[in-house]
Structure 1
Amino acid sequence: MRAITQRLSLSVLVPVLILVGSAIYAVVERARPPAAVTATRVSVLDVGQGDAILINGPGDAEILIDGGPTPDLARALSRLLGDDRTIDLVVLTHPHADHLVGFIGALDRYTVDRLLMAGVVHTTGEYERFLEAVRDRKIPTTIAVAGQTYDVGPAHLEVLYPFENLSGKRVDNLNSSSIVVMATVSGMTNDEIRMTPFDKLRDYRRILPERAKRVEGSTFAIRASSFRLLLTGDAESDVEQALLNRYCADRADDAPCERLRADVLKVPHHGSQDSSSASFLAAVAPQHAIISVGERNDYGHPHRRALKRLERTGARIWRTDLHGGITVTFGEEGLSVSSER
């Protein structure tokens, strides 16, 4: 009798389960969101006369380049990062206060996995407090030298300058010690994924080092578009010329240079007269040029001559003093730039 009861119960239960399962499946199908967008955002923060740039990629991958001139950095980061309290890589391009001060308070709130810095001697109180905070938190620190590379999520960073280890050295002009970095960033969506043999995908290791997979004995990579961002700190004409001599010796003066070419240029030294030379801008050939600068600053930045040289490149010029914070997005629509105002 029990067997019959069980059989009868199953005969009733199975159709019910099928109906319920179908209904649930239909609801899930109907509620399923569109393909998730995997985008990386580069935020040039409006910090006044200084620099602070956050690269924020999928999977909580963050790179912070410079900290700005005021203690407000932590508040700005909280708006962008929410509850995430870890920054994978911090880059201090050079120890001038307008690139440094914001780091001091931010280190109280955020865990930093690695610090990249030039390491030059500078004896201001702000820099000493920063170094003390780094020591107290035992943050792993690397002295930047050209040729180093770092992979954080979808971003691949290559140090282009300085050419030598400057740790413990005194320099006449701190701007000449500025770290210059090329960031190559990939952007894709789930529905753009294609599987392509590695040997048919150019530069896959450089562009997508963490997305390589081996499937059933065959090696594949995910195809994605990539964009390049040149970050220059406060580099001036001497550094620009050194970069041209090192990486672009064989090119004509007015031609783009493959090693320096970038879709987006963070304009050197806030658009000072002594930066953004015509030959350097021709080598970079940017689509967008971003100037991080304070309103009515005491230095006359950006200088009208630098602006003229930028205008001649045909690049769209963005300024934090006029546009507020500026966001560069790499995603399903390619490259886009927006501003707060």
Structure 2
Amino acid sequence: MMTLSILALLVAVLLTVNSGWHFIRRAGKKARRQALYALLAFIISVAAAAGHPGGGPGPSGSRQSQPRSQAQAPMQAPAGTPLSRESQTNPSPPREEAGKLRVHFLDVGQGDAILVQLPGGQNILIDAGTNEAGPVVVQDLKQYAVAKLDYVIGTHPHEDHIGGLDQVINTFPVGKVYLPRVNNNTASYRELLLAIKNKGLKVTEARAGVSIPLGDGVQALFINPAKKNYDDLNDWSAVLRLTYGQTSFLFTGDAGSAAEEEMLASHQPLRADVLKVAHHGSRTATGTAFLKAVAPTYAVISVGKGNDYGHPHAQTLKRLQQAGVKVYRTDRDGTITAVSDGREVIMP
């Protein structure tokens, strides 16, 4: 069909040229010049139309026929690159999966940062990695379409957990902040407190027995700190147990053996489908008795690749293996997302 159209145009051009030429020969000098220019313009316009029969790259052009996988497919960033998020696609959940709870264990290197997205749209952030990880966490939150953080939890004052929280609080609207009642005279902690003050926020104490009013069938209860004094700052970690329907998660910060003993003695509920392994897999945490009480199906270790601490420790990995727990690690798997529909937890 396109070939016939072009032939018809060429015939019309030849007839027009022939008629035009006879007119030019009979016309005066000035008229001949004007007619010649008009004839040349007509030939050029017809040739241009014949060369672009599809009308360009608009709605009916040939570019529209390219499949999305070739013409519009987004680039995917390799896993395990916590400080480079530019090439990642927007990881916000698809609309058809609305109503599910999602827990994103963000890859921030040697540190912790966890985003919990509730079925009703609320967002909880637990820690935000180191100072250097702050911009990464901010970028990740934007990619997950976070417009507001309804609850921010700093598990304890160590820099690899709360270092990036000041940048997050300075960037997003925040509803409520939870911290354990323990001080630490470091620049990172002072910057966090200043960010909280500048936003006009108040700190709510995170301690055993305090619950967070979430709704949407989701319950959240702090089960540590269980006492008012610990020798190790890690044992002050705000440990949160979150349940949705028949599924549960346990977020442990850096809680060590002393905190685990207190939690076991307090008879607080510990059972969880997913355990965030405390202290990046240190051998001084995730003891046998504590692991037996939690009885997780999955465990997530937030840890930096090639870190100087030997995390995760071989003894901790062995205990998890002996308990039949499937282990995920941010140093190997990148950001890890667990999804719950209230009946079961789906891991990658």
Query: Above 0.5 in TM-score?
Result: yes
Partner of 2:143: 79
Partner AA of 2:241 in structure 1: M
| 1:36, distance to aligned residue in structure 2 (A) | 6.4
Q: Which residue of 2 aligns with 1:180?
A: 239
> Against the structure 1 CA distance between its residues 35 and 76, is the aligned structure 2 distance closer, same or farther, given a 3 Å change threshold?
closer
Question: Which residue in the other structure is 1:235 paired with?
Answer: 255
Structure in which a larger fraction of residues adopt strand: 1
Which of residues 92, 96, 118 in structure 1 aligns to 2:154? 92
DSSP 3-state at the match of 2:328? strand
5+ long unaligned stretches in structure 1: 1-33, 187-225, 249-258
Matched, 1:61 2:122: yes
TM-score by length of 1: 0.70
Inter-partner Cα distance in structure 2 for 1:65 and 1:78: 16
Instruction: Point out which structure has higher relative CO (alpha carbons under 8 A, 6+ apart).
Output: 1
- Aligned residue for 2:194? 132
Contact 1:118 1:165 in 2 (8 A): no
Deviations 1:144-172 (A, max 9, x none): 12111113243311010112457xxxx54
Aligned residue among 151, 162, 185 for 1:123: 185
Moved over 3 A (4+): 34-37
Q: What amino acid does structure 1 have at the position aligned with 2:186? A: T
State how far apart, in whole Å, the 1-side matches of 2:210 and 2:226 are.
Answer: 10
Could you tell me whether the CA contact under 8 Å between 2:103 and 2:337 is conserved in 1?
yes
Q: Note the C-alpha offset of 1:37.
A: 4.2
Deviations along 1:77-105, one digit per CA (max 9) or x if unpaired, are 1111x2x4211111100010000111111
Which residues of 2 match residues 186-205 of structure 1 at below 5 A?
Answer: 186=245
Which ranges in structure 2 are unaligned for 5 or more consecutive residues?
1-94
Q: Could you tell me which amino acid in structure 2 is paired with residue 79 of structure 1?
A: Q
Displacement after TM superposition at 1:331 (Å): 1.9
Question: C-alpha displacement at 1:275, in angstroms?
Answer: 0.7
- State the alpha-carbon separation in 1 of the partners of residues 266 and 291 from structure 2: 16
Q: Which moved more, 1:266-275 or 1:133-142?
A: 133-142
CA contact (8 A) 2:98 2:119 kept: no
Q: Are the counterparts in 1 of residues 238 and 253 from structure 2 also a CA contact under 8 Å?
A: yes
- Please list, as runs of the form range in 1=range in 2, the aligned pairs for 1:156-175 lying within 5 A after superposition: 156-164=219-227, 172-175=231-234
Q: Displacement, 1:139?
A: 1.4
Deviation track 1:108-162 (CA, whole Å, cap 9, x = no partner) reads: 2111100010131101111101101101111132111211111324331101011
Whether the 8 Å CA contact 1:267–1:291 is kept in 2: the answer is yes
The equivalences for 1:1-341 within 5 A come to: 37-69=98-130, 70-71=133-134, 72-80=136-144, 82=145, 84-154=146-216, 155-164=218-227, 172-186=231-245, 226-247=246-267, 259-331=269-341, 334-338=344-348
Is the 8 Å Cα contact of residues 88 and 152 (structure 1) preserved in structure 2? no
Q: Secondary structure at the match of 1:135?
A: helix
Q: Is the 8 A contact 1:37 1:332 kept in 2?
A: no
CA deviations 1:46-94 (Å, max 9, x no partner) are 00000000110233211111111122211111111x2x42111111000
Query: In 2, Cα distance between the equivalents of 1:90 and 1:53?
Result: 10
Label 1:332 to 1:152 Cα distance change in 2 as closer, same or farther (>3 A).
Answer: closer
Instruction: Decide whether the 8 Å contact of 2:103 with 2:338 is kept in 1.
Output: yes
Q: Percent identity?
A: 38
* Aligned 8 A contact 2:244 2:342 in 1: no
Question: CA, structure 1 residues 108+231, in 2 after alignment: closer, same or farther (shift >3 Å)?
Answer: same
Counterpart amino acid of 1:147?
G
Answer whether contact 2:247 2:342 (CA < 8 A) is retained.
no
Paired residues in the alignment total 250
CA contact (8 A) 1:182 1:231 kept: yes
Three-state SS of the structure 2 residue aligned to 1:66 is strand
Distance in 1, Cα, partners of 2:284 & 2:96: 47
- Normalising by structure 2, we get a TM-score of 0.69
Asked if the contact 1:93–1:178 (Cα under 8 Å) also holds between the matched residues in 2, the reply is: yes
Whole-Å separation in 1 of the counterparts to 2:345 and 2:232: 35
Structure 1 counterpart of 2:141, one-letter code: L
Structure whose residues are more often helix by fraction: 2
Give the distance between the partners of 1:230 and 1:162, measured in 2 at CA.
14
The CA distance in 2 between the partners of 1:112 and 1:165, in whole Å, is 27
